Chains A and B, each alone.
Chain A
């Protein structure tokens, strides 16, 4: 009897890229629900627009690069980028802002660098940074979280949709009436106005530890991230690195001078810290690869987030920190090569490598 010939191994791998990415999306569903509950349906519209533009630009770029389009779309990586962009942007965002972020992220940050597996920078963060700098006003329109006890008019679903499509607010709501400072904004302005942390924190908008509404979204993001760690889709080094890198300096300064600095708990649960630790920094393509390297990479991001929040002029430094550490990844990889079994130590450090 005759048979076909193939190469070993003959056991089928159980994982594949599409299922990895899909599970990342599933992990974000609880956080999405919390976001919609607290901040309205805007994020859903943003998600739809981001998906359309991310997938559309990916298809267009794959066609322009003469590569198979279906293969690229079916690995869900563009959808994950869209989801992160949707989480990063305010829920009331005009569609062209979302579209710009998506298209820049996919076309420039991903495909012009070589496509999946070759991009140096995290595409979602690159897209976010572009619109942060290009549309500063739109990115300051943060809605207040749902609470029964403050005087706030929530835009309805139709009004949200109208704003998303046309950037026209409802007639009775001016810009200042709709937007509220995020907890991070409040903390920053408060501290620079010489208020103590406790005074700022007593404001009901600040919630229990990370800002009303935002802390719950962060909780669910963290839960989703822990689920991903259990399923071994992400490894513990990056999330631990980010959280430790943020917590240690903030704990130190808080312990040294509690009145003037925000608490570590606040840092951890406000803004996009949890999203960064579990979903943004863990993007495998732009992160370091060796386990030790990942700890260093995560710690670097954590520290940079602290640095930007503490000393920088932006309220939240996640995007910049991630992009800065992306630049350091080749160096980190080179410096954290493990010692091969049977060797004394890694030899390239001794040789001058030729070519």
Chain B
């Protein structure tokens, strides 16, 4: 069941990060009690935000649909517990780093009464793929690895390609984060059955569950679950513990030995990747009727008193979660949603925990500011880049705003993993610079497109004006010739008709 590690592809570069997961994995997942208020942002997923279908004052039940998917790529939002909708208003959210976004606020009544299911639960083997896709869409399932792409759409788009493998991503290579590890340890069966549901929906026969080799308990739990279900199609593959082997393109490279083409997706090389948490969420919805209303989150860092993993209802504020685990330590200075390499620091702990919140990291020290030195061209950044880019050259061209060179040196392929930042002896904030360079490139591309359009319209107009002028001149010449042919009598006729006295001195 557990595939040996030597038949993996190779990953260039990467770093061995300090693991820092011992404290948070020392105890089982704790359950955060239902808070007094749940704040549910309408935009918890990639694509168009959902639009609310409840009104203020309305009573809602746990699992009830409160906001519907809107547009081609979107996902619905469900109430995480029963209560009354007291507001639909702006609230600070982590997606906007503490700035406001529209949210539905529910005051919980504590009863946690679940909504009745609209249809009975059917064993998933009896459902066709299209039905499954619709159900997954309706359940609000999105990618829980961080990208929160609506799972139903990912599955539906994938069926148009030649797929060979389903890969469940349980790699979790970033320091501190251990939510997927604990999920696999405690709910391995949910992950495995989730894999079976996805295999059935995609009509595939191969599934790899990729787990890093520093998670032996999770690997054992999965192996035990696989022994129980006796499913030959699913195998666990161990990945070496190097960051960023858990990034989607990198997992594909390691497991299938194929490189995802630039600008493409894993489905271009026959592979569909889902996070293990997403698979468990699919299981919960299809087999138990519970939509995505809770998730496992790691709460850790030296800014909290007791690091641990918790499962909490979506919409619980970070403040409530931290309160539950024991509160902040005196040194808490930075609140980061996500991991230390790719996470975002937010300004307030009033932000709610959303579908994307895999980690709440509270740190005591802030990065040293103002210590940036000139690049000494040591080349260490190129050594660790998993995409084989040359960050020192990209940095040069980003400073020079040279869009053409940035494109040809592959800036758009940068996965923003942060490895180059960590090894730079001059402490240059490379990833942040690349992010702004990408924005700038997009701006410039847009400007160029606008300029091209304007130029095209201007040229078309110039041609049109010239043509009209030419036509007018030709018509005039024709008229003149006709009049000449007709002779002087014709001019007099024209003048009589128009009622003007004949004579000389008429100007054209």
The interface of chain A, by Cβ under 8 A from chain B, is 1-13, 15-17, 19-20, 71, 75, 77, 115-118, 235, 284-285, 287, 289-291, 294, 333, 337-343, 347-348, 351, 353-355
Determine if B200 is an interface residue (Cβ-Cβ < 8 Å). Answer: no
B-side contacts of A290, CB under 8 Å = 379, 382, 390
Q: With the chains together, A4 CA to B344 CA distance in Å?
A: 11
Task: Evaluate whether A341 and B12 lie within 8 angstroms (CB atoms) in the complex, with A3-B334, A355-B404 already known.
Answer: yes
Interface contact A15-B17, CB-CB below 8 Å: no
Mark the stretch among B53-61, B100-108, B346-354 that contacts chain A: B346-354
Interface contact A2-B348, CB-CB below 8 Å: yes
A-side contacts of B345, CB under 8 Å = 3-8, 10
Task: Indicate which residue in A20, A235, A339, A347 contacts B379 across the interface (CB closer than 8 Å).
Answer: A235
Q: With the chains together, A12 CA to B363 CA distance in Å?
A: 12
A-side contacts of B319, CB under 8 Å = 1
Q: Taking the nearest CB of chain A, how far is it from the CB of B479, in angstroms?
A: 51
Task: Evaluate whether A8 and B413 lie within 8 angstroms (CB atoms) in the complex, with A1-B332, A343-B262 already known.
Answer: no
Interface contact B259-A6, CB-CB below 8 Å: no
Determine if B270 is an interface residue (Cβ-Cβ < 8 Å). Answer: no
Q: Taking the nearest CB of chain B, how far is it from the CB of A79, in angstroms?
A: 15
Task: Evaluate whether A341 and B408 lie within 8 angstroms (CB atoms) in the complex, with A8-B343, A11-B341, A291-B379 already known.
Answer: no
Interface contact B334-A1, CB-CB below 8 Å: no
Interface string of B408-436 (1 = CB under 8 A from A): 11100100001001111111010110000
* Residue of A with least CB distance to B419: A9
Interface contact B425-A20, CB-CB below 8 Å: yes
Determine if B261 is an interface residue (Cβ-Cβ < 8 Å). Answer: yes
Q: With the chains together, A12 CA to B366 CA distance in Å?
A: 9
Task: Indicate which residue in B17, B387, B402 contacts A341 across the interface (CB closer than 8 Å).
Answer: B387
Task: Indicate which residue in B374, B375, B390 contacts A338 across the interface (CB closer than 8 Å).
Answer: B390
* Residue of B with least CB distance to A20: B425
Interface contact A285-B376, CB-CB below 8 Å: yes
A-side contacts of B365, CB under 8 Å = 12
* Residue of A with least CB distance to B260: A342
| Interface range, B side | 35 or more
Q: With the chains together, A268 CA to B99 CA distance in Å?
A: 64
Q: Taking the nearest CB of chain A, how far is it from the CB of B331, in angstroms?
A: 12
Q: Taking the nearest CB of chain B, how far is it from the CB of A189, in angstroms?
A: 40
A-side contacts of B298, CB under 8 Å = none
Interface contact A10-B367, CB-CB below 8 Å: yes
Determine if B335 is an interface residue (Cβ-Cβ < 8 Å). Answer: yes
B-side contacts of A77, CB under 8 Å = 376
Determine if B368 is an interface residue (Cβ-Cβ < 8 Å). Answer: yes
* Residue of B with least CB distance to A334: B393
Task: Indicate which residue in A11, A13, A75 contacts B340 across the interface (CB closer than 8 Å).
Answer: A11
Q: 12 more A-B contacts (CB under 8 A) besides A7-B431, A117-B426?
A: A1-B349, A7-B429, A8-B418, A11-B340, A235-B379, A289-B382, A338-B382, A340-B389, A341-B253, A341-B413, A343-B261, A343-B410
Interface contact A10-B374, CB-CB below 8 Å: no
Of the A-B pairs whose beta carbons lie under 8 Å apart in the complex, a sample of 22, sorted by A's number, is A2-B347, A3-B345, A4-B345, A4-B347, A5-B345, A6-B334, A8-B336, A8-B344, A8-B431, A9-B341, A16-B425, A17-B426, A117-B375, A284-B378, A290-B382, A291-B382, A294-B379, A333-B393, A340-B413, A342-B264, A348-B409, A355-B402
Task: Evaluate whether A71 and B425 lie within 8 angstroms (CB atoms) in the complex, with A3-B333, A4-B345, A338-B390 already known.
Answer: no
Task: Evaluate whether A117 and B347 lie within 8 angstroms (CB atoms) in the complex, with A290-B382, A342-B259 already known.
Answer: no
Q: Taking the nearest CB of chain A, how far is it from the CB of B256, in angstroms?
A: 14
Determine if B461 is an interface residue (Cβ-Cβ < 8 Å). Answer: no
* Residue of B with least CB distance to A114: B374
List which B360-419 residues lie within 8 A (CB) of chain A: 361, 363, 365-369, 371, 373-380, 382-383, 386-390, 392-393, 402, 404-405, 408-410, 413, 418
